[in-house]
Structure 1
C-alpha cells in the first residue's frame, strides 16, 4: 500500500449489488471529485516512480487515462493510450484477452515505443488481470519494457494481481479491497 493508501481507500465509494447482485463496485468518482484526495493519489504514484527513469506512461482506456496523464506530466515523460479496439486511427498492434463471458481486445499504435523504452503501465483497478496482461503484452511486442504495472485499486480475491506477477510483471496498488469490505 502507498503512503496515502488508507486515506485514498476511505474516499472510494463502494456501491453494493452493481452492476449485478453480489458485486461490490468500487467507485473512484468521489476520489476524483475531492481535490485533496486526487492530489494525494497522484502524489502516491509520483513518490513511487520519480527516481525510476520512466520513458512513458501507458494508460489503459479509459479510467487509466485519468491517472496516466497527470502522472506523465509530473514525471516528465510521454503519455501513450492503450485503447479499446477500433479507437486508434493509425497502424496498430492488438491483443485479445478473455473476459468472464467472451473476449475483448486492446490496441496500441505500432510506433508508440522505441526498443528498450521503460514503460509504466497504469489503470484504475486490477480485477481478473486480463486487460493489464493484454496491455503488458502489447508493450513488450512493441519493443517497450514494462517497468511496473500500477493501479489505484487491487481486488486480490479475483486473482488478477497474482496472474500478473506469475507472468513476470511487478504490481503496485495504492490500496486493495477484499470482497467483504
Structure 2
C-alpha cells in the first residue's frame, strides 16, 4: 500500500485506473523531469555526501543565497546544531554524513527539500529510526510544514505521533484505504 502510493506519486508507474493531479494538472501530462522538479523526498535512509553541510543542503536546489539556506535550515530545526559546529555551514559531514547523528541528518535532508521549495513533499518514514529527542525536533519541523500551507505534505508513518497534527490522515491496511479523517475524527469513530 504505502510503497505503491509513493511509487505512484513519484510516477515510477501510472495508475491503472483513476488519475493523479499536481496543482490540478494531470500527472501523465507532465514529463518526469518536470514532475520531479516539484517533488521533495525525505526517507528514513538519508543520503548525504562527503562535503559540507551547505553543499548538502544546496544539492539539487536552484541558485540561492546564504540567507535562503539558513531560512530552510531554521525551518527544519537544523540551524542551531549547525551553528554549534566550529565551521558552521562549512563543516564537512564525512562519508554518508558519519559526523552527524540520525536526527541531524534527517533535519539536513528536510532543509534540502525546503530550499528546493517543492509543491509536494513526500516524507517516507522520515522519523522511524530516530531517538525521542531527535524525533521531537524533526516533528516540530514537520508540524511547521504541515500548517504552513505552501506545500502538500504526504507523511508515510507507522507512529501516531508523526501524523497526529496532519490535516487529513489516511489509514491503510493491506493496501486498502480503511479510514480517513483528522486525528480527532478518527478517534471518535473508534476504528482501526
User: If each structure's strand is expressed as a fraction of its own residues, which one has the higher value?
Assistant: 1
TM-score (norm 1): 0.33
In our comparison, the structure showing a higher alpha carbon Rg is: 2
User: If each structure's helix is expressed as a fraction of its own residues, which one has the higher value?
Assistant: 2
TM-score (norm 2): 0.32
Instruction: Determine which structure has greater relative contact order: mean sequence separation of CA pairs < 8 Å that are 6+ residues apart, divided by chain length.
Output: 2
